[in-house]
Structure 1
Amino acid sequence: MHFTSEQRHDDGVLEREFTLGEIPGILWTPAVTSAPAPLILIGHPPLGLRRMYPRLAARARHYAAEYGFAAATVELPGSGERPLLPGVEQARASLRRALAAGEAVGDEIVDALVLPLVEQAVPEWQAALDACLSLPEVGGPVGFEGGVISIGIRLAVVEPRIAAANLFAGSFVPAAMFEEARRVTVPLQVLLQWDDEGNDRQTALNLFDALGSTEKTLHANMGGHTGVPHFELDAGARFFARHLK
């Protein structure tokens, strides 16, 4: 982990950009900690860190300033200035054509769109986790929040340091991920926008049903993909406070 810039905000939160090999990322840490801060990995859709920055930074700074959590995020494969994933780009083009034509999005498109992203992104998230936990100001337990939901599911299955996850429905889910979902055991909170124009509601509900955790809560709100109520930010923080502190 190589830090490339740092900024101390008015709320005392320290924001540092870093690179991990060729992967850009951002780490936020609280102003004062009496012990290493629990860590939340903040996931996001593959739209690029710069485009997602306002939303990611708002969540991370709230968690750091109000709850004493550290938070980190990394650029996803094929996003931002990282090299494109050719197969994924072809799948995105097929997805756009299907949606423009009003056609159903087939399983082969969903698999090609999501599975390569999961395969490459999850080891990178684990490497970022290794790097963050090597810092004296950051410690466990660790939570994961956000999307792509398939990445969160895979991480919850393969990464034993993930103690809880607040997953955001709203992305396409390959059929193979339902079997992985049954292997998830950590406490879960799942956020679903009921009128999400880009998300099949029934698929999201079926996925929630498939998740194997004995403690899981569904937060369903009216509204579209970007209409998440502001109070869900505190709901997520309280969820992590129960399980990471």
Structure 2
Amino acid sequence: MHLTAPRRPADGLLEHDLSLDGVPGLFWTAGDAAPAPLVLLGHPGGLDRMYPRLLGRARSAVAAGFTAATIELPGSGDRPRSDDLEAARTDLRPAIAAGRPVDAIAERLVLPLVERAVPEWRAALGALLERPDVTGPAGFTGGPTAIGLRLARVEPRLGAVVLFAGSVVPRVMDDEARRVTVPVHVMLQWDDAGNDRWRALEMFDALGSAEKSLHANLGGHAGIPAHEGEAVARFLERHLR
């Protein structure tokens, strides 16, 4: 893993560009000597487009006593495009808007993305945990939901997972959900036009974790209330300290 020299995008926050086997990302710390647990920040792809939101989430994580990192998704940002993934995205949007069944399309889009992205997230996690300023266990927050779900099942170095139920999870992944044992906290926007709330509730019900919680709030995809950040911080503090 290669890290650039740090910059200060905000008071009390150091930010590095990172690169791991050609996968770009970002890493944030408070800049002091004290090692802190790592929180991985999941997102839907496009680091440049998502940067303002990711920076806000990183500031919150570091203010709560964590380090934070994210990487670019396959086929997003400046990474090479996949014709198959682009075709599936093109088919998915009108199907959701029209209320048609989307599971077959979601499998074409989500499953290949999960298969490619999860090993990259795990490699980044391993490289970051080797740093003296990072400790485990780590946490994962955000989405896409299916990537967080797979990481929750396969990654023993995660102590807690926070999922934003704002993207399609193919039903074939319900069996994976049943094998998840790490504590999981799910956030669901009740009026998210691009997400099937009942499918999200089925996914939550399938989770095998002995500790799982779901917070549902009125509003659309981008309307998560600010107080949910406090709930997430308390959840991570409980399981990563």
Place the TM-score, normalised by the shorter chain, in its bin. over 0.9
The answer to whether the 8 A contact 2:177-2:207 is kept is yes
Q: Structure 1: 5+ residue runs without aligned partners?
A: none
Q: Distance in 1 between matches of 2:11 and 2:84?
A: 43
Q: Distance in 1 between matches of 2:159 and 2:197?
A: 27
Q: After superposition, where does 1:1-245 map in structure 2 within 5 Å?
A: 1-34=1-34, 36-46=35-45, 48-64=46-62, 66-99=63-96, 102-245=98-241
* Superposition TM-score, scaled by structure 1 size: 0.95
Q: How far apart are 1:10 and its partner, in Å?
A: 4.3
Q: How far apart are 1:99 and its partner, in Å?
A: 4.2
Q: Structure 2: 5+ residue runs without aligned partners?
A: none
Identity %: 59
For 2:150, what is the secondary structure of its paired residue? helix
Runs ≥4 in structure 1, deviation > 6 angstroms? Answer: none
Q: How far apart are 1:9 and its partner, in Å?
A: 4.2
The 3 A distance-change label for structure 1 pair 62 and 106 is closer
* Superposition TM-score, scaled by structure 2 size: 0.96
Q: Distance in 2 between matches of 1:118 and 1:193?
A: 23
For 1:40, what is the secondary structure of its paired residue? strand
The answer to whether the 8 A contact 1:188-1:217 is kept is yes
1:35-88: CA deviation from partner (whole Å, max 9, x where unpaired): x21000110113x01101111110111111x21100100000000000112211
Q: How far apart are 1:18 and its partner, in Å?
A: 1.1
Q: How far apart are 1:97 and its partner, in Å?
A: 3.8
1:124-175: CA deviation from partner (whole Å, max 9, x where unpaired): 0001001111111111110010000110111011110011101110101111
